[in-house]
Amino acid sequence: MILRVILALSIFQLISCYDETPPKKEKGKEEASDFVFQEAFVSGSDTGVVDLTNLTEAKISTLLCQEWNLKKIEGSSEESQVWTKDNERIFPGFVFFPDSIVVENPHDKKRIGTWTAVSSPEGAELQLTFSGGAKRILLLKNVTAKTLLMQEVQSGKEPKKWIMEATGKVLQNYKDNPFYPDHIQWMFRPKKKESDAELFSRVRAMVWFYGLYYRYNIKMNADVITYKGLPEVFVWYNRGIGLPEKGLIETSFVNCFYNKEQANKAYDFLRKLLVDYEYKWPKKQNVWLYATHDVLGQMVHKIDSLQRF
């Protein structure tokens, strides 16, 4: 099937398509299909998943190194942890990696830093350090494969409570996690205007990230995929990928570029990528996560063959 390219014609369409979540997988559906999942973004022998819940003896650092998100609003002790002063929702989270890198708030305003675990009179303590010298100190109260209870030390104040939850699963190669710093640099606005080559690489990294993101959700066996806190680039459909009309480009997309002019140039290339070229959707795969992952891989190959705008 040729890729359906759909341009959103109204704000209503844009929002409704962006918020769409995939249907729950029907039990046995994949088994009944002849479709075989093929890796499009990673290679090697370490492409599997480790289920931390199956480990009989696991170090705290092993359990810690995965993606953690706040357990709904009740996972916090202060309103400021989940709402800004402007009454905007915050989605706190952490992704800890074995090489001591941490990505704070992967589904919100991201920061990349380092983490160190040290002993303190109150137990294990996480010290997070970010660019510019910003620090956070988190006391680990309880860590299991799926639950993380922490208290954040605040000078002269009561500690903040954090109850985080995780899937209890990690990729065998942690550098294939879509939130590993190498894969999210394109989300940060550059400090100067970029050349065409740099802009081209940024757009490629954007498509590459979403391919890894779909792969990650497949590997985690996700029933629902969330886009909260991610730049609103594409409009996702069941067996279709679209773009909003140019006049409806989201600020979160524009903020990935030096200015609106460069964002428009990137948009024009993405539109060309979808309109001018054909992609084949897997015929024997009805689960949209798998099908979309496959097509995103084809898009990256097309970008690589073009090499420039």
Answer yes or no: are the C-beta atoms of 112 and 103 closer than 8 Å.
yes
Identify the residue whose tokens are 């550098």. Answer: 175
User: How far lies 111's CA from each of 63, 108, 175, in Å?
Assistant: 22, 9, 17
| Strand, coil or helix: 52 | helix
Q: How far is CA 209 from the centre of its chain?
A: 8
| Strand, coil or helix: 280 | strand
What six digits make up the tokens of 9?
């014609």
Q: Which residues contact 34 (CB under 8 A, 6 or more apart)?
A: 284
* CATH number reported for the structural domain that contains residue 120 in this entry: 2.40.128.540
Answer yes or no: are the C-beta atoms of 304 and 26 closer than 8 Å.
no
Report if residue 120 sits inside a domain. yes
Report if residue 126 sits inside a domain. yes
User: How far lies 309's CA from each of 183, 203, 262, in Å?
Assistant: 21, 10, 12
Report if residue 272 sits inside a domain. yes
According to DSSP, the β-strands at 240-244 and 7-8 are parallel
Q: Which residues contact 175 (CB under 8 A, 6 or more apart)?
A: 182
Same domain, 269 and 225: yes
Given 140, 165, 190, the domain boundary residue is 165
Answer yes or no: are the C-beta atoms of 24 and 223 closer than 8 Å.
yes
Answer yes or no: are the C-beta atoms of 3 and 274 closer than 8 Å.
yes
Report if residue 139 sits inside a domain. yes
Given 149, 165, 181, the domain boundary residue is 165
Same domain, 40 and 120: no
Identify the residue whose tokens are 């998943």. Answer: 49
Nearest partner of 231 among 102, 109, 90, 89, judged by Cα: 109
Same domain, 141 and 259: no
What six digits make up the tokens of 301?
């190959």
- Domain hosting residue 208, numbered range: 7-48+172-306
Report if residue 2 sits inside a domain. no
Same domain, 69 and 138: yes
Same domain, 180 and 156: no
Q: Which residues contact 85 (CB under 8 A, 6 or more apart)?
A: none
Q: Which residues contact 101 (CB under 8 A, 6 or more apart)?
A: 112, 113, 114, 115, 180, 181
- Give pLDDT, residue 33: 54
Reduced to 3 DSSP states, what percent helix, strand and coil does the chain have, rounded to the nearest 5?
A: 35, 25, 45
Answer yes or no: are the C-beta atoms of 18 and 235 closer than 8 Å.
yes
Report if residue 1 sits inside a domain. no
Count of domains forming the chain: 2
Same domain, 190 and 292: yes
* Single pTM value for the model: 0.86
Same domain, 212 and 141: no
Torsion, CA 57, CA 60, CA 66, CA 67, rounded to 10: 130
What is the C-alpha to C-alpha distance for residues 102 and 179, in angstroms, rounded to an integer?
Answer: 10
Same domain, 88 and 160: yes
Given 121, 138, 165, the domain boundary residue is 165
Same domain, 13 and 148: no
What six digits make up the tokens of 169?
């699963």
Q: Average pLDDT for consecutive 10-residue bins of the chain (309 residues)?
A: 42 32 45 71 94 93 96 77 81 96 94 94 91 93 96 84 95 98 98 97 98 97 90 92 93 97 97 95 83 96 92
Same domain, 133 and 244: no
Same domain, 191 and 297: yes
Cα three-residue angle 44-48-51, rounded to 5 degrees: 150
Same domain, 202 and 278: yes
Query: At residue 239, what are phi and psi to the nearest 5 degrees?
Result: 65, 45
What is the C-alpha to C-alpha distance for residues 56 and 166, in angstroms, rounded to an integer?
Answer: 18
